Amino acid sequence: MSEQQAAGTIRVETKVVKRESGLRLPYRFEIDPAGRESPWWITVVSIVLALVACGIFISLNGMNPITVYAKMLTGAFGSSFGLTETLVKAIPLLLCGLGVSIAYRISVWNIGAEGQFLAGAMAATAITIYFPHLPIYLSIPCMVVASIAAGGLWGLLTAIPRTYFQVNELITSLMLNYVALLALNYAVFGPWKDPKGFNFPGSPMFTAAQSLPTFGASRLHMGIIFAIIGVLLYAFIIRYTRWGYELRLIGANAEAARNAGIRISRHVLIVMVISGGLAGLAGMGEVSGVAHRLMYGISPGYGYTAIIVAWLAKLNPVSLVVSSVLFGGLIVGGYSVQTIGLPSSISSMIQGAILFFLIAGGMAGKLRMRRNR
């Protein structure tokens, strides 16, 4: 071989052609990148599917689902007593739902409304324990202020780690629920236990000056006024104020809000104080308007149910009222089915099923069918 041939380079390019194997479908499903909300009918379908799924379990228990659902409906809305009891249950659900909703507006996932509810109930009871002789025009305002402050402080305990130490608020808010529950148990089994209560774990009964007035002979109390005012303020702030616009902007695009000069950390702190304060006010309404004492098991899970209420309402003020009344009726209806041999926990099963299908429906609503090219 000559030097010229040795110096030359022969380059051989090999092109590998990959062939697709298998069946190529003409369409595919993708998550909508625009993140649009699912249409309203998906919420309706999700609720119907939840009722169908629960109906299957009811059938396996040897009961007719139609009969059970009819009993729950008439028990909750078929009489004046049932309707007022439904509204009584809707009051804490609405207040806690408002608190959860305003936090969700800026994508702060507050699941600590249960602990904030208990903190507010304990703070209101503390006024009755340590200031037992206040007249009604002083005791009720003091209980309201104390409950809002305690609930707001409990919410702030979640906001501070999230803002300054990047601690996930899901963990802190959930753990604080158990701290509040243990504090409640300590109080009602320990220093606040009624010495005349026959060993019942509860505080002494509230006096008339420490109890919220009721409407007529029903248990519907003035706490409903707090809930209505809260809804109106929430709707006005979110819709017509600059601060509400900033909250909506943070929830839609936090990076754009930060570039616009909005201090997100300050908004998180303020929102969590308000969120916890609303849940604390719900706790005050429950001990002062319904139970008239602080006792073990004062909350049947209002703070957790409020998450479903807010999710179902999609943070809309009017929808919050409707969903809280519906879930209040679900709780009352659960008590009604005890007369036909079913436990009241069936309402919890239905609540869980509704949440499951709402989440699944929301994910399905974001799926879009695309043509393969």
Lowest-pLDDT choice from 7-21, 165-179, 214-228: 7-21
CA distances from 129 to 134, 136, 194, 203, 206 (A): 11, 15, 11, 8, 9
Q: Tokens in use for 11?
A: 């380059």
Domain boundaries, the chain: 87-317
The Cα 205–Cα 197 span in angstroms is 9
Could you count the other beta carbons within 10 Å of the beta carbon of residue 297? 13
Tell me the residue type at 296: Y
**Confidence grade of residue 198 (pLDDT, cut at 50, 70, 90):** confident
How do residues 24-46 score in pLDDT, each as one tens digit? 666 565 655 555 566 778 888 88
Q: Write down the pLDDT at residue 27.
A: 58
How do residues 272-326 score in pLDDT, each as one tens digit? 999 999 999 999 999 999 999 999 999 999 999 999 999 899 999 999 999 999 9
Closest CA to 47 of 345, 268, 281, 326: 326
Question: For residues 334-356, b (16+ Cβ closer than 10 Å) or e, as one string?
Answer: bbbbeeeebeeebbbbbbebbbe
How do residues 44-93 score in pLDDT, each as one tens digit? 888 999 999 999 999 998 899 999 999 999 999 999 999 999 999 999 99
Strands (E), 274-372: 367-371
The Cα 209–Cα 221 span in angstroms is 14
Q: Write down the pLDDT at residue 25.
A: 62
The Cα 93–Cα 86 span in angstroms is 11
**Confidence grade of residue 14 (pLDDT, cut at 50, 70, 90):** very low
Residues near 307 by beta carbon (within 8 Å), at least 6 away in sequence? 100, 111, 113, 355
Mean pLDDT on 160-176: 95
Closest CA to 145 of 128, 123, 119: 123
DSSP character for 268? H
Is the CB of residue 274 less than 8 Å from the CB of residue 64?
Answer: no
H/E segment holding residue 92: helix 80-104
Residue 184 has pLDDT above 90, yes or no: yes
The Cα 189–Cα 205 span in angstroms is 15
Report, in angstroms and rounded to the nearest whole number, the Rg of the chain calculated over CA atoms: 27
Q: Write down the pLDDT at residue 341.
A: 86
Q: Write down the pLDDT at residue 150.
A: 98
Q: In percent, how much of the chain has pLDDT > 70?
A: 87
Q: Write down the pLDDT at residue 13.
A: 47
Give the global pTM.
Answer: 0.88
Query: In which region does residue 314 sit, left (phi positive, over 0), alpha (psi from -120 to 50) or beta (all else)?
Result: left
Residue 165 has pLDDT above 80, yes or no: yes
The Cα 18–Cα 256 span in angstroms is 43
Q: Tokens in use for 57?
A: 């379990």
